[in-house]
Chain A
Amino acid sequence: MAGTLAEKVWDAHIVRRGTDGAPDLLYIDLHLVHEVTSPQAFEGLRLAGRPVRRPDLTIATEDHNTPTLDIDRPIADLTSRTQIQTLRNNAAEFGVRLHSLGDADQGIVHQVGPQLGLTMPGLTVVCGDSHTSTHGAFGALAFGIGTSEVEHVLATQTLPLAPFKTMAITVDGELPKGATSKDIILAIIAKIGTGGGQGYVLEYRGEAIRALSMEARMTICNMSIEAGARAGMIAPDETTFEYLKGRPHAPEGADWDAAVEYWSTLRSDDDAVFDTEVVLRASDLEPFVTWGTNPGQGLPLSSNVPVPSEIADENERVAAERALEYMGLEPGMPLRDIAVDTVFIGSCTNGRIEDLRSVAKLVKGRKKADSLRVLVVPSSARVRLQAEAEGLDQIFLDFGAEWRNAGCSMCLGMNPDQLAPGERSASTSNRNFEGRQGKGGRTHLVSPLVAGATAIRGTLSSVADLGPDVEVPDGSPLEGAPVADARQSA
C-alpha cells in the first residue's frame, strides 16, 4: 500500500500494534535529554527502582538554564545551578552521556543531535522539548514529549502512541531574494493558524523546500510545533546525506551504503494519501514578522499592524486587541516603523552557523543603531568555535554586538538574558508569547536577515531597506575566511 514518509517511519518502529483503540507501542531510536524536563523523570525511575533501559540511545546536554557569560564560574542563580547539578548527578547515576557547560559538544539539544551526526533519516527521535520537531528536517519522525513520557522512554525505550494524521505542505517555486526559510514557516503558520496542525505530522515538500540547505530545513521543521503539529518532516535527499557524511556518529563503510540505500526509500509515494494538503507559492513570499503574541500573528514586513475593528471573527478580534495592547502597538501603523530595543540572534530556530554567517556578511563593516543592543548567541559551543575560527565573532564585536556562549538564552529567558518589562525585541527565535523573553517583554519573530537589517536601522527592516545595492547574503562561508568545517576540526 502506498504510504507517506511519516507512515513509513512509524511502521518501521512498531513493537506492538495496538488493538481495540489502544495505541501502538513505538520504539524510540534516539532520546535527547536536558536539565529542565528530566529531573522528575529520573526521580520517578529512582522511586520505582528502574534503570535506564538504553543509555546507549540516550544523550543529555545543558542548555535552557546555562548562562551565556562567565561560563567558567559557578552559576550564580541557585535554582538554575541546582537543576543543572541534578542533571549531572542523574547522568552519572544512570550512565547517561552528558555534554556539560564548557564541553565543545554542549549546546541547544536540537543542535547537538544533528552536529554529532546522531540525528538521521528514518529514526524516531524524542525529547522533553516541543521543538524536537527540528530533527524532522532529516526525515526522522521527531516530536516533543512531556516528563512522564521522558520517564517512560528512559524505562522502556518505547512510547505508546496513537497514530498522527498527515498533512502535506507543498511550497512551490523559488523564494525571492531576501526571503528565507524562516519566512516560509512564519507564512505557513499565519496561513493555517497556531492550531491548524494539531494532531498532524506536517510534511514539507516542493521545489522551494528541496532547494534549502539542511540548516534552513531545520528552521522550518523547528517551528512545526508553532502550528500545533506534533512533528514536521522533510524527505531526505542528497543535501541530507551530504550534511551527515563524516560526522562523528554517521555510519561508515558498508553501514553507510546500507543506510543511504534505505534512506533513499524514505519519501511519500506518489499515490500516498494525506489527510490534508496545503499549497504555498514561494514566489509570493517576502520577509515576515510577527506583530502579536502568538506565532500565527504574522504579516509581511511591508504591511501595517492589523486594525482589530476590521477583523470579522470575534475570537480573532478580541485576541488581536489583547495582543496589540500587550505589544504596545497602534492599529494600522506600518510594521517598518516599529523601533526595537534588543535584537536577539540565536536559538534552535536560527542560531546555527549559516544564520550567523548571513548576518555577519550583512553587518560587516557597519555599526549597529545606537538605540538598541544586539545579542548573538550561537546554538552550540561547537558552532561558537566554528564562528570564531571563521572570524565572525570579530565582525559582530566590531558591529557593536555582544558575542556570547551557547545556550537557549533569550529564547525563553530562563537564564539572565531577558527583556525588561516593556522592552521590545526582534528575535530569531520561535515564540512571541507574552513574557516569553522576560516578564512584560515584547517579541517580534523575524528571520536572521531581518534581525541584521533591524540591528542596523533600529526599526523592523529587511535587507532591501538598506538600499538597492546591498546584496542579500546567504549562509555560505565568508569570502577569504578560513573555513572551519565543524565535521573535521573546530
Chain B
Amino acid sequence: MEKFSQHTGVGVPLRRSNVDTDQIIPAVYLKRVTRTGFEDALFAAWRGDPEFVLNQDAYRSGSVLVAGPDFGTGSSREHAVWALKDYGFRAVLSTRFADIFRGNSGKQGLLAAQVAQEDIELLWKVLEARPGTEVTVDLVAKQARADDVVVPFEVDDYTRWRLMEGLDDIGLTLKHEGEITEFEATRASWRPLTLPAKHLPPVEVVAARPVLRHGDDALA
C-alpha cells in the first residue's frame, strides 16, 4: 500500500446525505472479477445528469470528495472504494461514515475523514463559490484546508498509522502466526468444520416446475 501523509487535489462538493454504496456503484458493475477499472461505474446512475457535480469541468478531475452525512451506508461492497479510487479520489470527507465503508477505505488507502457538519458546510461554500479550488488533506495535522478555510478532521489512530506507514494488514497479522496456531489448538471440538462435508441424502435438483411467466395465456 502506498504511504499517505498529505494530499492536495480538486475538491468536489457532493451535497447529498445518505449516499449508499448502491449509489456509489450499482450492483450491475459488481459482476466484474478484476480489482481495478471501476472508474466508469462511480455514481453511474447520476453520471447521466449533466448537472451532476462530476460532469462539470471544474470538478471533473476531483480527488477530494466532500459529502453529506452517512456516506457509504448499505451494502458492504468494497467496489465502492475501488470505484472512488479508480476515479482518482484519495480522500472522502463526511460527517459520518458507515462502519464497513470506513473499514474498507482504510484497507485500500482511501482516507475517510470525519468532519463536523458545520465545517462540511464551510468547505461546500468555498468549493461552490470557486469551483476547482484545491483541498489539502493533511493526515499528519488531521486538517483539511481549502483557501482560507481550515477544518479539523477525525480518523482513528490505528488507521492513520497504517495509512502513513503504508502497511498491509495481512502481512501485519501473519507476524503473529504462532499465536494463531496456538489459539487453534484450543478450539473446542463441537465447533463446526465445513470439511469433510456432511450432507443430507443427496437429491437430484431439477429446475422448478414449468414457470408461468407474466403475460402467459395460462395466467389470463
Contact at A118–B169, with CB atoms within 8 Å?
no
Q: C-beta contact mask, A53-74 vs B, less than 8 Å → 1, else 0? A: 1011111000011001111100
Contact at A15–B180, with CB atoms within 8 Å?
yes
Residue of A nearest to B106 (CB): A148
Q: A203 vs B26: C-alpha distance in the bound complex, in angstroms?
A: 31
Contacts of A402 in B (CB 8 A): 211-214
Q: A116 vs B197: C-alpha distance in the bound complex, in angstroms?
A: 10
Contact at A195–B212, with CB atoms within 8 Å?
no
Contact at B173–A25, with CB atoms within 8 Å?
yes
Q: C-beta contact mask, A311-340 vs B, less than 8 Å → 1, else 0? A: 000010011000000000000000000000
Say which residue of A152, A162, A435 sits within 8 Å of B170 (CB atoms).
A152
Contact at B74–A156, with CB atoms within 8 Å?
no
Contact at A83–B33, with CB atoms within 8 Å?
yes
Least CB distance from A292 to B in Å reads: 10
Contact at A414–B31, with CB atoms within 8 Å?
yes
Interface-facing stretch out of A209-217, A251-259, A298-306, A353-361: A251-259
Interface-facing stretch out of B5-13, B15-23, B49-57, B140-148: B15-23
Q: C-beta contact mask, B184-208 vs A, less than 8 Å → 1, else 0? A: 1001111111110111111101111
Least CB distance from A81 to B in Å reads: 9
Given the known interface contacts A393-B208, A402-B213, A434-B23, the answer about A29 and B191 at a Cβ–Cβ threshold of 8 Å is yes
B26, B28, B31, B193: residue with the most chain A Cβ atoms closer than 10 Å:
B31
Contacts of A72 in B (CB 8 A): 206-207
Contact at B190–A258, with CB atoms within 8 Å?
yes
Contact at A489–B200, with CB atoms within 8 Å?
yes
Say which residue of B107, B156, B158, B172 sits within 8 Å of A148 (CB atoms).
B107
**Does A483 sit within 8 A of B, measured CB to CB?**
no
**Does A448 sit within 8 A of B, measured CB to CB?**
no
Contact at A158–B194, with CB atoms within 8 Å?
no
**Does A248 sit within 8 A of B, measured CB to CB?**
yes
Q: C-beta contact mask, B152-190 vs A, less than 8 Å → 1, else 0? A: 000011100000000001101110110110011001111
Q: A308 vs B27: C-alpha distance in the bound complex, in angstroms?
A: 30
Contact at A319–B17, with CB atoms within 8 Å?
yes
Least CB distance from A7 to B in Å reads: 18
Least CB distance from B20 to A in Å reads: 5
Contact at B76–A393, with CB atoms within 8 Å?
no
Contact at B173–A158, with CB atoms within 8 Å?
yes
Contact at B174–A162, with CB atoms within 8 Å?
no
Q: Interface of chain A, helix or strand or loop or mixed? A: loop
Interface-facing stretch out of A33-41, A268-276, A465-473, A474-482: A33-41
Contact at B194–A59, with CB atoms within 8 Å?
yes
Contact at A431–B74, with CB atoms within 8 Å?
yes
Contact at A435–B26, with CB atoms within 8 Å?
yes
B100, B184, B205: residue with the most chain A Cβ atoms closer than 10 Å:
B205
Q: A116 vs B196: C-alpha distance in the bound complex, in angstroms?
A: 13
Say which residue of A82, A248, A251 sits within 8 Å of B33 (CB atoms).
A82
Contact at A294–B18, with CB atoms within 8 Å?
yes
Given the known interface contacts A129-B76, A199-B99, the answer about A397 and B35 at a Cβ–Cβ threshold of 8 Å is no
Contact at A117–B192, with CB atoms within 8 Å?
yes
Say which residue of A82, A230, A248, A381 sits within 8 Å of B99 (CB atoms).
A230
Q: A403 vs B26: C-alpha distance in the bound complex, in angstroms?
A: 27
Contacts of A36 in B (CB 8 A): 30-31, 77
Q: A194 vs B19: C-alpha distance in the bound complex, in angstroms?
A: 12
**Does B70 sit within 8 A of A, measured CB to CB?**
yes
Q: C-beta contact mask, A420-461 vs B, less than 8 Å → 1, else 0? A: 000000000001011110010000000000000000000000
**Does A395 sit within 8 A of B, measured CB to CB?**
no
Contact at A149–B22, with CB atoms within 8 Å?
no
Residues of A participating in the B interface, judged by any CB pair closer than 8 Å = 15-16, 18, 21-23, 25, 27, 29-30, 36-37, 39-40, 43-44, 48, 50, 53, 55-59, 64-65, 68-72, 77, 79-80, 82-83, 86, 97, 102-106, 116-118, 120, 123, 128-130, 144-149, 151-152, 155-158, 160, 162, 194-195, 198-199, 228, 230, 248-249, 251, 255-256, 258-259, 262, 294, 315, 318-319, 373, 381-382, 384-385, 388, 393, 397, 400, 402-405, 412-414, 431, 433-436, 439, 486-490
Query: Would you list 16 pairs from A and B whose C-beta atoms are within 8 A, ordered by A residue?
Result: A21-B157, A23-B158, A36-B30, A37-B77, A64-B30, A104-B205, A117-B192, A146-B100, A148-B107, A199-B99, A249-B192, A397-B212, A402-B212, A414-B30, A431-B75, A486-B200
Closest 9 CB pairs of A and B: A146-B104, A146-B78, A259-B190, A39-B33, A148-B107, A79-B31, A251-B190, A248-B198, A373-B214
